[in-house]
């Protein structure tokens, strides 16, 4: 296909050179787990927290609530994942590089790491005499059921390429006269809000006859009810065959707990292709019935009625497309999977929400419309995905690893437990006219697949670069939600597991830590995070101001989005006033409380810290500029005055000639923090090149120091930047200072690129990235890596910050 397509100039379907490239029998050389045990001193200091956590854990279990961070059942990386399918915010289904359907997130925000044996593609090849010469699963993962289904392909001759949001698998079956290629296409397209929300994927099978006799090839596609979870048994399922416009197939109705879920398996109708259907088989059987039907006839037996009238608690269905291909010819079989779960709700709120795609397709009878729409539009999706990626892939100055990494890390936008919801009438009433949520809905994604809190804002601060760059309206919708949360107060008393004290769940005039958990009532019941009193955190408020600033200015610093600033300004002003109260000695700088009161939530900061102090200075700077743009000259003066005082104090207290001190504690201030220039990074990301706050020579010297110590001293420079170094050693003061945070390493690399340290930047991020590849962490990027053997929190939000490297690179080459 590739050569022909190239000749025809259809580059959009060609398999790219970059991305995750493995054979179907690939084994990753190194394995990591989540069983890191900190040194004894650290454990000792954490004992009260651990004790309180266990009580909280048991209590939640007792009450049937899923805890937001499950340390008891931390999941080790499976080393199986490939590009997941589906658009944004409509539920996701994962796929492994060996062809499995795995990792379901169809219950909103809840991950089920099941691999379902009955969800398969099967090939049957017949020769010119209609004798079957091969029948095989098109996957190579080990199954435990359906024992008569066999995988007979040679994994060593089959190649997977994953470049999110697309994937390709090539099957070299030339021993049987056929070369098969599957293109897997999901609608994830930058700046496209109508297509990117759709719950579907298209699988285009190119069947190439590579021998000199005729071949008849069948591709069957089977799928079972549910998500492989034994608790999906609240109702029964049924199925129905359909023919609709340009497509035909089978619909499977089922239930996930109380949520209605419908799957459609479809084939695009073509005169050369004959489609047969199976309305029922038992996924718990040995599968011999359907297997032998396909083996004998290359199709499923004729069905007598188009509706399956018996209802089963567990069932599977299938479709099969058969095509005859003459010697040296090729044919295309187009199949699709659509899942339709239009309306969702959460355990502790009575509210129901419609997913965003129902805006276009409605909630009823939408599934067949989506089937047809997908078949009619997938070529356009491919073209636009290709155009989007091309600029990066064809840039010869960028390292190869980065090209794959940039797009692959983007998987988390759709596979982050993502919700994209329409407003209901009640919500519409409360919104002012130009509120973007009216048109674009509400957007939320989890901090991690294991850390089930929506929009954890201290982390989203890093990840938001991916949204800002590719779906800026979703970033704005999220910010509007945040603005509304600032004034919200939730009086419920909660026990904080770290301090052991009780506090109000959400205080007024503060930015929340998160927008709630899927196991409670997200988007209303904010602050699900149980560890600290987050209303006193020292980074959240500055991070809200800085994201507002970046969103408004980055694309055109001379021409910022005034409307947006206007709508965010009051909330920004409020939280800055509130934060200012943490400046006890009135030097203009806010002080940490001697507890981990920021995103490094077990790394204690005392007094002024480089991290929170730096964010604060940048936020003050942003406030001054935004006030000026709105003509609020008194405010501008106010912020400038504080800033002028604060930046002098910051340099005096924190700069030590080589880097900014970690904090003002007696024993720990000299730690070198990889993330100490976070505030500066955000100003650069906002398109404002200024050294007014952080002097240029200090920024450059600090970066060099970080590169020398946190990067080069650590694992020979091959693992990214360790969070903390002290006296030439890894800083073992806390569990987090010894970690490499993937998202922070990308952010640091971006800062280096902004400062012209191009080689160092790519080396820093590239070292870490290659270590991840070795451990099979593709599409599972964790929050943290340790020097060896261990990692923490698989499939995490923060590494989306890689998009700020892209922004930095574009800034660099446009000079």
Task: List residues binding ligand NAG (CB under 6 A).
Answer: 19-20, 147-148, 225-226, 228-230, 232-233, 235-237, 254-255, 285-286, 288, 313-314, 326, 329, 404-405, 408-409, 411, 769, 772-773, 777-781
Of 246 and 288, CB closest to ligand NAG:
288
Q: What's the min distance (Å) between Cβ of 122 and ligand NAG?
A: 16
- C-beta atoms surrounding 309 within 10 Å: 8
Question: How many other CB atoms are there within 10 angstroms of residue 6's CB atom?
Answer: 12
The dihedral sign for the CA sequence 57, 62, 67, 70: positive
Report in angstroms how near the CB of residue 113 gets to ligand NAG at its nearest.
14
Calpha distance 643→654 (Å, rounded): 16
Q: Which is nearer to ligand NAG, 326 or 577 (CB)?
A: 326
**Which residue has the CB atom at the shortest distance from ligand NAG?**
408
**What residues does 330 pair with on adjacent strands?**
208
Q: Which residues contact 284 (CB under 8 A, 6 or more apart)?
A: 145, 314
The b-or-e profile of 241-264 (16+ CB within 10 A means b, else e) is bbebeebbbbbbbbbbeebebbbb
Decide whether 246 or 255 has the Cβ nearer to ligand NAG: 255
- The number of beta carbons lying within 10 Å of the beta carbon of residue 471 is 23
Closest distance of CB 283 from ligand NAG, Å? 8
Nearer to ligand NAG, 288 or 345 (CB): 288
Taking CA atoms, 636 is separated from 571, 632, 640, in Å, by 16, 6, 6
Nearer Cβ to ligand NAG, position 50 or 313? 313
CB of 668 to ligand NAG, least distance (A): 32
- Shortest separation between residue 555's beta carbon and ligand NAG, angstroms: 26
Cβ neighbours of 577 (radius 10 Å):
12
Distance in angstroms (rounded) separating the CA atoms of residues 232 and 21: 35
CA 368 to chain centroid, in Å, comes to: 28
280 or 569: CB nearest ligand NAG: 280
User: Euclidean distance between the first and final Cα of the chain, in Å?
Assistant: 40
Contacts of 214 (CB under 8 A, 6+ apart): 127, 128, 324, 325, 326, 327
CB of 447 to ligand NAG, least distance (A): 16
Element (H, E) at 47: helix 40-62
Q: Is the dihedral of CA 556, 557, 562, 564 positive or negative?
A: positive
Q: Given the complex with ligand NAG, which of 288 and 811 has the nearer CB atom?
A: 288
Closer residue to ligand NAG, CB minimum distance, 147 or 577: 147
Kindly tell me which of 173 and 778 has the beta carbon lying closer to ligand NAG: 778
Strands (E), 377-465: 419-421, 442-444
Closest approach, Cβ 592 to ligand NAG, in A, equals 32
Least separation, in Å, of the C-beta of 398 and ligand NAG?
13
Q: Cβ of residue 638: shortest distance to ligand NAG, in angstroms? A: 44
Handedness of CA 48, 49, 54, 60 (dihedral sign): positive
| Alpha-carbon 297 to chain mean position | 42
Q: How many other C-beta atoms lie within 10 A of the C-beta of residue 376?
A: 13
For the CB of residue 179, give the shortest distance to ligand NAG in the complex, in Å: 17
* Of 63 and 144, CB closest to ligand NAG: 144
Three-class SS of residue 7? helix
If the CB atoms of residues 13 and 781 are measured against ligand NAG, the closer one turns out to be 781
**Smallest distance from the beta carbon of 444 to ligand NAG, in angstroms?**
20
Q: Would you say 20 or 571 has its CB closer to ligand NAG?
A: 20
In angstroms, give the least distance from the CB of 593 to ligand NAG.
35
Q: What is the DSSP string of 652-667?
A: HHHB-SSSB-S-S-TT
Beta strands in 519-673 (DSSP E): 592-595, 605-607, 672-673
> Distance (Å, rounded) from C-alpha 43 to C-alpha 350?
41
Rounded to an integer, what distance in angstroms lies between the CA atom of residue 244 and that of residue 267?
10
């Amino acid at each position: 296909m590739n050569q022909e397509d190239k000749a025809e100039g259809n580059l959009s379907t060609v398999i790219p050179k970059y991305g995750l490239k493995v054979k179907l029998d690939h084994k990753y050389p190194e394995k990591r787990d989540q069983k890191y045990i900190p040194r004894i001193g650290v454990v000792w200091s954490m004992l009260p927290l651990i004790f309180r956590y266990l009580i909280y854990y048991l209590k939640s279990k007792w009450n049937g609530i899923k805890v937001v961070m499950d340390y008891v059942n931390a999941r080790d990386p499976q080393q199986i994942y490939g590009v997941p399918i589906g658009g944004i915010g409509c539920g996701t289904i994962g796929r492994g590089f060996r062809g499995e359907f795995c990792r379901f997130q169809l219950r909103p925000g809840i991950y089920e790491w099941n691999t379902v044996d009955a969800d398969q593609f099967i090939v049957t090849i017949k020769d010119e005499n209609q004798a079957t010469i091969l029948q095989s699963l098109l996957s190579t993962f080990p199954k435990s059921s359906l024992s008569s289904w066999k995988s007979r392909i040679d994994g060593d001759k089959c190649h997977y390429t994953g470049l999110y949001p697309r994937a390709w698998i090539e099957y070299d079956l030339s021993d049987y006269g056929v070369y098969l290629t599957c293109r897997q296409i999901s609608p994830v397209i930058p700046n496209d809000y109508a297509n990117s929300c759709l719950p579907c994927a298209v699988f285009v099978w190119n069947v190439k006859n590579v021998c000199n006799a005729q071949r008849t090839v069948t591709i069957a596609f089977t799928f079972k009810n549910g998500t492989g979870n034994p608790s999906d048994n609240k109702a029964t399922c049924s199925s129905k065959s359909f023919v609709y416009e340009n497509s035909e197939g089978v619909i499977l109705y089922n239930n996930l707990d109380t949520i209605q879920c419908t799957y459609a398996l479809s084939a695009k109708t073509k005169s050369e292709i004959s489609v047969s259907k199976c309305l029922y088989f038992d996924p718990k059987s040995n599968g011999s019935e359907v297997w032998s039907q396909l083996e004998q006839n290359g199709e499923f037996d004729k069905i007598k009625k188009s509706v399956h009238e018996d209802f089963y608690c567990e069932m599977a269905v299938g479709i099969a497309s058969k095509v005859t291909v003459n010697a040296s010819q090729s044919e295309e079989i187009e199949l699709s999977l659509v899942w339709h779960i239009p309306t969702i709700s959460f355990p502790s709120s009575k509210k129901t929400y419609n997913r965003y795609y129902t805006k276009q397709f409605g909630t009823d009878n939408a599934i067949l419309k989506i089937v047809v729409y997908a078949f009619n539009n997938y070529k356009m999706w491919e073209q636009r995905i290709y155009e989007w990626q091309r600029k990066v892939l064809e840039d010869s100055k960028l390292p190869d690893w980065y090209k794959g990494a940039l797009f692959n890390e983007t998987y988390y936008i759709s596979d982050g437990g993502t919700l994209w919801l329409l407003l209901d009438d009640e919500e519409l009433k409360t919104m002012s006219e130009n509120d973007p949520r009216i048109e674009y809905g509400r957007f939320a994604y989890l901090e991690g697949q294991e850390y089930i809190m929506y929009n954890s804002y201290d982390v989203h601060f890093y990840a938001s670069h991916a949204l800002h760059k590719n779906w800026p309206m979703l970033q704005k919708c999220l910010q509007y939600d945040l603005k509304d949360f600032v004034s919200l107060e939730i009086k419920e008393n909660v026990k904080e597991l770290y301090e052991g004290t009780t506090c109000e769940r959400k205080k007024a005039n503060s930015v929340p830590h998160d927008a709630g958990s899927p196991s409670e009532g997200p988007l209303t019941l904010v602050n699900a995070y149980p560890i600290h009193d987050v209303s006193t955190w020292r980074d959240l408020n500055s991070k809200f101001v800085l994201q507002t600033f970046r969103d408004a200015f980055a694309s055109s610093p001379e021409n910022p989005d005034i409307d947006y600033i206007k709508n965010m300004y009051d909330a920004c002003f409020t939280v800055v006033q509130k934060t200012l109260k943490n400046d006890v000695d009135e030097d203009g700088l806010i002080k940490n409380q001697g507890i981990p009161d920021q995103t490094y939530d077990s790394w204690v900061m005392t007094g002024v810290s480089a991290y929170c102090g730096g964010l604060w200075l940048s936020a003050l700077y942003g406030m001054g500029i935004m006030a000026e743009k709105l003509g609020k000259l008194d405010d501008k003066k106010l912020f400038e005055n504080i800033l002028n005082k604060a930046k002098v104090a910051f340099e005096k207290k924190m700069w030590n000639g080589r880097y900014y001190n970690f904090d003002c504690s007696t024993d720990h201030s000299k730690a070198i923090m990889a993330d100490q220039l976070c505030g500066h990074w955000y100003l650069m990301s906002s398109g404002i090149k200024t050294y007014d706050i952080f002097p240029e020579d200090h920024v450059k010297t600090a970066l060099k120091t970080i590169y020398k110590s946190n990067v080069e001293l650590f694992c020979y420079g091959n693992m990214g930047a360790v969070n903390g170094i002290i006296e030439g050693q890894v800083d073992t003061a806390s569990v987090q200072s010894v970690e490499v945070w993937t998202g922070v390493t990308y952010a640091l690399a971006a800062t280096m690129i902004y400062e012209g340290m191009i080689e160092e930047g790519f080396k820093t991020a590239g070292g870490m990235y290659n270590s991840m590849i070795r451990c099979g962490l593709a599409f599972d990027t964790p929050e943290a890596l340790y020097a060896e053997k261990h990692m923490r929190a698989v499939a995490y939000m923060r590494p989306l910050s890689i998009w700020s490297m892209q922004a930095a690179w574009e800034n660099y080459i446009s000079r």
